[in-house]
């Protein structure tokens, strides 16, 4: 009997299969209620006393060999199933990936950066909390200017004055302090003004301001640069410059682009004129150059600034500026195609 058990142990150890049904047949043969192990164990009472110990050890060895073989093959089969489940048919359609989208402000900002990068402008950045010098004094703002009032600007601290910057012109001042002409830079960023929130205005918005300083820079250079920008950005080739006033430029102008009157929306946004204001500009005031230790007798330059929210509203026909800041996924998902 012991020899028979040893033969069965050898059979169990040699057994192999990659089929579940064959494995199940093996299990039933050995460890079911009517299996060989129970059948052999029923003979235990007929074994002489001096052989019972060896007989019992042999049965345990057989049982361990069978159970170990079953577990080993089951693990191997399950591993193959998992691998097939992960990879399976590699020609099948892939699982859709739900990608996000860039914010319309980011899309427009990147467009503006690309346009000016093509003509040699670099990108400069600065802090959003500014001191009075960089935000006002160095930009030729007089002490009585309304922008310095509490009702127009968010002051963080008084004496000395620190505030949330009201424009990115402060970045240009910092750039002039640390770089000598020729200077050709644009400064995109978030700015803050104490304004009532409505469909057309907000206390937070984004600007891109440009600065070009070199020898013999003229107003003609400014106009040609802005004409190039409007062609690239809007596909519009007709602009006009209206006289205006800014403390840091002289002369100063507002830039209008001829948008046209092809649709009802065109009539509404241009108030029936076809012309649409898109930015302010001008020649850099000599006092601004002096404040940054640049000789105005040797160098001249121009500056311009535009609001990104307004541009995005024009390009994507967005009717309410507040939508930019509400984080409504339904609104943002409309820009997936521009990712």
**Binding-site residues for Mg(2+), please?**
250
For 85-117, give the DSSP string.
HHTS-TTSPPPP-------HHHHHHHHHHHHHH
- On the CB side of 17, CA atoms within 13 Å amount to 16
Residues 288/292/298/302 CA torsion (nearest 10 deg): -50
Q: Rounded distance, CA 330 to CA 198, Å?
A: 21
Annotated binding site: 250
- Write the CB contacts of 144 (distance below 8 Å, at least 6 apart in sequence): none
User: Which tokens belong to 31?
Assistant: 């460890």
Other Cβ atoms less than 10 A from the Cβ of 234: the count is: 17
Residues 187/274/322/199 CA torsion (nearest 10 deg): 130
User: Which tokens belong to 19?
Assistant: 């089929």
User: Which tokens belong to 155?
Assistant: 């002051």
């Amino acid at each position: 009997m012991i020899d028979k058990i040893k033969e069965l142990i050898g059979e169990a150890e040699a057994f192999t299969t990659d089929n579940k049904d064959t494995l199940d047949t093996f299990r039933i043969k050995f460890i079911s209620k009517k299996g060989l192990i129970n059948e052999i164990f029923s003979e235990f009472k007929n074994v002489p006393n001096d052989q019972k110990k060896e007989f019992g050890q042999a049965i345990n060895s057989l049982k361990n060999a069978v159970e170990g073989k079953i577990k080993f093959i089951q693990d191997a089969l399950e591993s193959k199933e998992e691998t097939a489940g992960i990879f399976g048919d590699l020609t099948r359609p892939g699982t859709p990936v739900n990608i996000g989208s860039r914010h319309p402000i980011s899309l427009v900002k990147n467009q503006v950066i690309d346009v000016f990068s093509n003509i040699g402008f670099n990108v400069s950045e600065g802090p959003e909390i500014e001191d009075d010098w960089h935000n006002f004094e160095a930009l030729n703002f007089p002490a009585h200017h309304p922008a310095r009032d509490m009702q127009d600007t968010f002051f963080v601290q008084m004496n000395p004055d620190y505030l949330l910057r009201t424009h990115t012109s402060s970045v240009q001042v910092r750039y002039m302090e640390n770089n000598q002409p020729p200077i050709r830079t644009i400064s995109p960023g978030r700015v803050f003004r104490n304004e009532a929130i409505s469909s057309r205005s907000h206390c937070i918005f984004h600007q891109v301001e440009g600065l070009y300083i070199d020898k013999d820079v003229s107003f003609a250079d400014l106009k040609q640069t802005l004409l190039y920008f409007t062609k690239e950005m809007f596909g519009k080739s007709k602009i006009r410059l209206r006289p205006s006033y800014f403390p840091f430029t002289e002369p100063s102008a507002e830039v209008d682009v001829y948008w046209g009157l092809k649709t009802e929306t065109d009539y509404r946004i241009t108030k029936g004129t076809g012309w649409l204001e898109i930015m302010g500009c001008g020649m850099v005031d000599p006092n601004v150059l002096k404040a940054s230790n640049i000789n105005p007798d040797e160098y001249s330059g121009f500056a311009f600034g535009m609001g990104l929210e307004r541009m995005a509203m024009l390009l994507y026909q967005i009717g309410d500026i507040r939508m930019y800041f509400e984080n409504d996924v339904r609104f943002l998902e409309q820009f997936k195609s521009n990712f």
